[in-house]
Structure 1
Amino acid sequence: MEYLKLEDCCEILDSKRIPVTANKRRNGKYPYYGANGLQDYVDDYIFDDELVLLAEDGGNFNSKDKPIAYRVSGKCWVNNHAHVLKPKQGISVDYLCYALMYYDVSGLVNGATRQKLTQATIRKMKIPILSEIDQLRIVEIMNSIQQLKNDYRSILHKLDVLIKARFVEMFCHKGYTVLEWNDVFNTRTGKLDSNAATENGKYPFFTCSKDILYIDDFGFDQEALLLAGNNAAGKYDVKYYKGKFNAYQRTYVLTLRGNWSYQLFRYQLEDKLEYLRQQSLGGLTKYLTMKILGELSFIIPPIEKQKEFELFVQQVDKSRFDIKKSIIELEREVVYD
């Protein structure tokens, strides 16, 4: 199979990008894109075309299951965290996008805490050269896969709604005790930099990424909830773990003060993540403080009710795991003949 360098099959329009700082954005109707997709809507545009945006920095470079490229169409604004690519004649924009979505960039990105895929590097990236008919065939296959993934994600959303409905049914307006953060959790943080992970580490290493990394040494040996303490977009994450692990210095390690269900409090924390996003501080990187967390409160139902809810969530989580596994398998099935 023949391959073509990216610089030979598309125009790189990075020079036309214009970054807009958050405090200077004016709300409007035009999409404003960055490394991982839509960031906002603004009142002006700089592109009006069929384009592929490829993450430059802050992309999902360490994940095999999240795209690093996506397609945009029409009037839009793009900041300087995404490369702007316009396919040349004979290259379908959809084919170019699918060829780059899960491109293996290991060894191509540089940087520690915030990895970057430079323009000099992407010029050397290669994609398979196929006839326009074969490109169309690949696009049709990929569109079918994307539709299946969307269907799976719809089921995941319905399962989330099911858990929320069950929580409301079991615990809301029942007169149960309500406690504030410091009465519910013993709160610690990790001590390590986020770049302390090792490729073949023995123990889970929890950072503010949704992905779990690994490390050679452990700093904790316990049952805990792990709450991300900072995030570029304020989209925080809660994880549960029991055993030996380590943590980044901006990851909150939470131990329950009572003999309660960790799954119940994991859910209650997850239900507050949107509120935390709205309350978080910071500019380019959002972060949570103990003052913000300390204002949260939690329902403490009887332990038998907690265990009933925990069993229900475990059953739903099994279904969610199976669906997410199916999504990953769909993504890994894509090969070029």
Structure 2
Amino acid sequence: MTKIDELIQELCPDGVETFPLEECCNILDKKRKPVTKNSREKGEYPYYGANGVQDYVSDYIFNGKFVLVGEDGSVITKSGTPVVTWAEGKIWVNNHAHVIEEKSGTMLRYLYFYIQTIDVTSLIHGNIPKLTGRDFRSLKIALPPLEIQREIVSILDNFTNLTAELTAELTARKTQYGYYRDKLLEVETDIHKYTLGEIATVTKLAGFEFTNYVTYSERGNIIALRGLNVKNGKLDLSDVKYIDKSDFSKLERSKLHIGDMLFTYVGTVGQVAIVDEEDKYYLAPNVALIRFDKKILLPQYMKYYFQTTQFWDKQIRRLLQSSSMQNIPMEKIRKFEIIVPPFDVQNRIVNVLDNFEKICSDLNIGLPAEIEARQKQYEYYRDKLLTFAETGNTILSRAEQSRAEQSRAEQSTN
């Protein structure tokens, strides 16, 4: 029998009572204040939204320890639980996150862990997902005695601290990787310089092709690669659209081949990935195809080149156009200046960076696999530790209990 089992048997043998969230904490939503991006003054204080820090500003409206829970926008995880953030110190919170602080009788850290286990799927509605204030205040919290709360928090904090240490280690390695990538790809004066359009075909899916000949479906084998499928130098196939029923005779220009690069030019600009399979992918809107002259350039070399700090600082950021959505026109992409070292140098750089990237990113080895395993372990024990047998009685709020006790006392004196 564990210590928690012993405590439950001693302190609440008949089960753990459940209370509305508003009875367990102070809800500070009325103190929140949104500030538009253009009106924010840059500073040192975190500016929180529905899913964490959105910016840093010059002032704060809260000071202490808080739990933030997404109200609208990014409010629900893939498992159907709320998006929950722990925040400490001097902070600003906009009106997209509910704010709670500790109240006597309940540990705030306990609430932080417990709210992560609540299925709110049935409470989220609207075109923009929303967890209303009323539904938020009414969330049911199983609340054991403080001694049990402390023991649970201690165990779960040990899990989260270990994961945080591993994540910090991985972040340090990625920073190191970025440094060496930039150093390896620094501009040299004695090698060739081209515009991208001189050494590559740069094109996009024409509107009429998409409208007239492409048919999307949720199942199939042939995928139209969209901007959201291009992330951090790789293809992300977690959300894809299939086009097996499209008129491929009209889409030959959009067919992708091994070694083709995808480059996002609308919205999240500048993400790149390399096509690694034949007869599987076609180009979708809002992402460009870059097909290099392979006698001059290795596509894998260019993938790394496009991710360097110096390329972003000198070329992408100065070309970004502000509209309703950031974008770079196709003619400006073709004018990117590309420094091209000899082929053997490109090969050496690619080999070094491929190995380094694998250490940092491959989920089958090293720190990423360890972090993923620890996260799953944490979630398993969190859910297990925070599942209690409830009391058989009807659960009343603390105010209702107080009124009921007062009523029984009055009846006993009559």
TM-score, structure 2 length as denominator? 0.64
What is the aligned partner in structure 2 of residue 288 from structure 1?
A: 327
CA RMSD, 1 decimal: 4.0
Mapped partners of 1:74, 1:159: distance in 2: 28
Matches within 5 A, 1:74-223: 74-100=89-115, 108-110=123-125, 115-123=129-137, 125-153=139-167, 154-162=169-177, 164-166=179-181, 168-169=183-184, 172-173=187-188, 175-183=190-198, 184=200, 186-188=202-204, 198=218, 203=223, 206-208=226-228, 212-217=238-243, 220-223=255-258
Cα distance 1:28–1:333, how it changes in 2: closer, same or farther (>3 A)? same
Does 2:344 correspond to 1:304? Answer: yes
Higher helix proportion (structure 1 or 2): 2
Does 2:370 correspond to 1:326? Answer: yes
Cα distance 1:204–1:138, how it changes in 2: closer, same or farther (>3 A)? farther
Max Rg structure = 2
Cα distance 1:241–1:327, how it changes in 2: closer, same or farther (>3 A)? farther
Matches within 5 A, 1:259-270: 259=294, 260-270=297-307
Which range moved further: 46-55 or 4-13? 4-13
Cα distance 1:90–1:245, how it changes in 2: closer, same or farther (>3 A)? farther
Cα-to-partner distance string for 1:193-247 (whole Å, 9 max, x where unaligned): 9xx895x77658544485641333367543444444455xx68644444333467
Q: Which runs of 5+ in 1 are unaligned?
A: none
Q: Contact 2:70/2:97 (CA < 8 Å) preserved in 1?
A: yes
Cα distance 1:117–1:258, how it changes in 2: closer, same or farther (>3 A)? farther
Mapped partners of 2:241, 2:303: distance in 1: 24
TM-score, structure 1 length as denominator? 0.76
Does 2:72 correspond to 1:32? Answer: no
Correspondent of 1:258 among 293, 302, 306: 293
Mapped partners of 1:292, 1:84: distance in 2: 45
Mapped partners of 2:348, 2:298: distance in 1: 10
What is the aligned partner in structure 2 of residue 242 from structure 1?
A: 276
Mapped partners of 2:206, 2:108: distance in 1: 44
Shift of 1:255: 2.5
Cα distance 1:228–1:28, how it changes in 2: closer, same or farther (>3 A)? same
Q: Contact 2:50/2:73 (CA < 8 Å) preserved in 1?
A: yes
Shift of 1:70: 1.2
Q: Contact 1:280/1:286 (CA < 8 Å) preserved in 2?
A: no
Cα distance 1:123–1:44, how it changes in 2: closer, same or farther (>3 A)? same
Letter in 2 for 1:265: M
What secondary structure sits across from 2:98 in the alignment?
strand
Letter in 2 for 1:23: N
Cα-to-partner distance string for 1:266-298 (whole Å, 9 max, x where unaligned): 222222486446864548x75122266456433
Mapped partners of 2:126, 2:54: distance in 1: 23
Letter in 1 for 2:359: S
Shift of 1:155: 3.1
Q: Contact 1:190/1:253 (CA < 8 Å) preserved in 2?
A: no
Q: Which runs of 5+ in 2 are unaligned?
A: 1-14, 245-253, 386-414
Shift of 1:20: 0.9
Letter in 2 for 1:180: T
Q: Contact 1:240/1:266 (CA < 8 Å) preserved in 2?
A: yes
Mapped partners of 1:308, 1:104: distance in 2: 50
What secondary structure sits across from 1:95 in the alignment?
helix
Mapped partners of 1:128, 1:11: distance in 2: 17
Mapped partners of 1:278, 1:57: distance in 2: 33
Mapped partners of 1:204, 1:99: distance in 2: 40
Shift of 1:181: 3.7
Letter in 2 for 1:187: T
Does 2:47 correspond to 1:10? Answer: no
Shift of 1:165: 1.8
Cα distance 1:255–1:148, how it changes in 2: closer, same or farther (>3 A)? farther
Cα distance 1:67–1:163, how it changes in 2: closer, same or farther (>3 A)? farther
Higher strand proportion (structure 1 or 2): 1
Mapped partners of 1:143, 1:158: distance in 2: 24
Mapped partners of 2:64, 2:217: distance in 1: 40
